[in-house]
């Protein structure tokens, strides 16, 4: 039996701001339980969903030295869906109303504390990991700490590490002097071959340099980040570490996202009866959102963080043109003010055609995945993307830009060969996107049988974790051959 420990900043069902939480919450339970005992350490945020916070079991507490400070570390535990989750408690760091404060300096301090506390707690748990799997910049210091002070004790010797990049855009960067003080590492670590990044310190870079293996969440993104456009200043390091870098595409939780059993949607359906039953979801949503109730209308759904990454500049640019078409557009999302306001404006201007739901709701997201005919995701970059996988599962045809995981998971419709699961375009260009949407409209309105076959093929694809979890298992086996 090999012990694997995930250290991460978010996980469903406890706390979620994006796809990272979906991955951390669903991958551990997909491993072969006879061979891997995979557990997870998370922060115990005050903003965690109330029904879970009550169930956590107190384990112990201790004080940890971090540089010149001595800090309280509480430890809690919960077994959920067969997976053991540990939680690090500290009100000062995790007491805010959301996981990331937006104040980079404080967040760096918070996750340095978390990374170190997670490692310090290990000898107290009845679980010594053979391998620690870190996720994103928040845990970038874990491989660095493992190399540093934690080498001193025998307990930590030989623990291997994997660093998974879910989004290279976020790296945890601040000036060296401050970071050195906050994280408690010596000058040795702040050179260009380690944490130093231009004139600053970079936590994710530390993780990439010190982890035994680096992965990211699709093959295409693994290639893209070796180039300056997608490399966010780390493309040189990515090229240098390309022997240790691998893309493993994400899956989604097929129990959670299942149109046949989903409790959130109006009408359950499956690949055999979607032609009749899926439409009922569209009509009910139209009614609930005050859109024209008409099952024949082409409904485009968007569920997303509202940020430039997701291609909202393209959408805004052609929204007026698109709204001249026979379409309905339903948006669920929160994020940057400029995009929230733009969608509120379009909702007001095209009342019966556009519905902007500017909030976060799991239930509403499921309703949209089930109701829409197409799902629009024209990302500027996309490490993997889970929303398009959820759409495929719900028979909602993705319209995407060919980048990162979108390119790897959505096969473009080919009308001559009768293949493909969605529609895609290459360049980050608003009219190229609009033309692609219009091509989809045309197939939807004029060649419904063809459209339904696209839906059919999408629903038949397997984007559960079954294949990708095996790839992670192979990676663990390479690092833990005994
Ligand atoms: P990212 O992690 O970059 O935000 P992904 O496509 O990987 O993008 O994952 C996004 C996840 O967040 C999906 O599960 C999606 O359904 C969910 N999501 C995004 N915005 C909302 C929202 N406003 N309400 C509910 N779920 C949302
Ligand atoms: C990040 C990426 C997204 C990916 C998710 C889970 O948030 O933006 O593309 O699907 O992580 O790996």
DSSP code per residue over 194-254: TTEETTEEEHHHHHHHHSSEEEES-HHHHHHTTSHHHHTT-HHHHHHTGGGEEE------T
**What local confidence, expressed as pLDDT, does residue 152 receive?**
67
Q: Using the 8-state DSSP alphabet, how is residue 373 labeled? A: S
Residues 391-423: tens digit of each pLDDT: 999 999 999 999 999 999 999 999 999 999 999
Same fold for the pair 2-251+466-479 and 274-462 = yes
Ligand 2 proximity of 383 Cβ (cutoff 6 Å): yes
Of 63, 69, 108, nearest in space to 89 by CA: 63
pLDDT band for 458, please (50, 70, 90 cuts): very high
> Regarding the domain delimited by 2-251+466-479, which CATH topology (the fold level of the hierarchy) does it fall under?
Rossmann fold (3.40.50)
Domain ranges (residues) in the chain: 2-251+466-479, 274-462
Listed in sequence order, the residues at least 6 apart from 67 whose beta carbon sits closer than 8 Å to its beta carbon are 181, 182, 183, 184
Ligand 2 in contact with 250 (CB < 6 A)? Answer: yes
Distance 93 CA to ligand 1 centre (A): 25
CA–centroid distance, 386 to ligand 1, in Å, is 7
Mean pLDDT of 349-358: 96
Q: Is residue 126 scored above 90 in pLDDT?
A: no
Relative to the CA of 365, which ligand 1 atom is closest?
A: 25
Tens-digit pLDDT profile for residues 174-216:
999 999 999 999 999 999 999 999 999 999 999 999 999 999 9
CA angle centred on 263, ends 257 and 269, rounded to 5°: 70
pLDDT given at position 118: 97
Atom number, ligand 2, closest to the C-alpha of residue 383: 9
In this structure, the strands spanning 69-80 and 83-89 are: antiparallel
Binned at pLDDT 50, 70 and 90, residue 70 comes out as very high
pLDDT band at 100 (very low <50, low <70, confident <90, very high): very high
In the structure encoding, which two tokens stand for residue 69, read together?
């400070």
Please give the helix or strand (H or E) that residue 316 lies within, else none. helix 312-322
Q: How far apart are CA 448 and CA 456, in angstroms?
A: 12
Q: Are 420 and 454 in contact (CB under 8 A)?
A: yes
CATH 3.90.226.10 assigned to 274-462 = no
């Amino acid at each position: 039996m090999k012990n694997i420990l995930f250290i991460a900043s978010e996980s469903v069902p406890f706390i979620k701001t994006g796809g990272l939480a979906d991955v951390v919450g669903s991958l551990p339970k997909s491993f072969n339980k006879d061979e891997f005992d995979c557990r997870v350490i998370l922060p115990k945020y005050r903003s965690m969903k109330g029904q879970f916070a009550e169930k956590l079991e107190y384990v112990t507490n201790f004080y940890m030295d971090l540089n010149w400070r001595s800090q309280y570390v509480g430890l809690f535990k919960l077994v959920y869906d067969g997976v053991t989750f540990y939680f690090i408690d500290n009100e000062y760091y995790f007491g805010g109303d959301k996981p990331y404060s937006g104040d980079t300096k404080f967040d760096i301090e918070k996750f340095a504390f978390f990374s170190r506390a997670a490692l310090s707690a290990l000898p107290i748990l009845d679980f010594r990991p053979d391998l620690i799997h870190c996720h994103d910049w928040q845990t970038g210091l874990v491989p660095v700490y493992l190399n540093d002070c934690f080498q001193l004790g025998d307990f930590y010797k030989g623990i291997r590490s994997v660093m998974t990049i879910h989004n290279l855009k976020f790296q945890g960067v601040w000036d060296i002097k401050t970071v050195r003080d906050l994280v408690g590492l010596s000058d040795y670590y702040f050179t260009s071959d380690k944490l130093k990044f231009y004139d600053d310190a970079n936590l994710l870079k530390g993780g990439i340099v010190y982890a035994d293996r680096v992965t990211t969440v699709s093959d295409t993104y693994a290639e893209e980040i070796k180039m300056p456009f997608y490399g966010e200043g780390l493309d040189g390091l990515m090229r240098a570490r390309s022997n240790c870098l691998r893309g493993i595409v994400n899956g989604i939780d097929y129990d959670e996202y299942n149109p046949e059993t989903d409790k959130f949607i109006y009408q359950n359906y499956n690949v055999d009866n979607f032609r009749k039953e899926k439409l009922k979801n569209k009509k009910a949503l139209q009614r609930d959102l005050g859109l024209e109730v008409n099952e024949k209308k082409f409904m485009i759904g968007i569920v997303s963080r509202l940020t430039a990454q997701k291609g909202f500049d393209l959408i805004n640019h052609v929204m007026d043109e698109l709204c001249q078409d026979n379409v309905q557009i339903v948006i669920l999302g929160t994020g940057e003010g400029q995009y929230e306001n733009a969608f509120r404006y379009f909702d007001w201007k095209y009342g019966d055609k556009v519905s902007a739901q500017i909030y976060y709701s799991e239930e509403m997201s499921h309703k949209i995945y089930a109701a829409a005919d197409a799902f629009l995701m024209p990302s500027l970059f996309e490490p993997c993307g889970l929303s398009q996988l959820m759409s495929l599962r719900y028979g909602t045809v993705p319209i995407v830009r060919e980048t990162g995981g979108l390119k790897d998971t959505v096969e473009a419709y080919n009308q001559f060969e009768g293949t493909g699961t969605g529609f895609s375009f290459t360049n980050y260009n608003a009219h190229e996107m609009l033309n692609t949407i219009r091509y989809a409209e045309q197939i939807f309105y004029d060649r419904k049988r063809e459209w339904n076959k696209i839906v059919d093929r999408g629903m038949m694809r397997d984007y559960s974790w079954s294949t990708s979890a095996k790839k992670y298992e192979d990676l663990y086996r390479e690092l833990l051959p005994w």
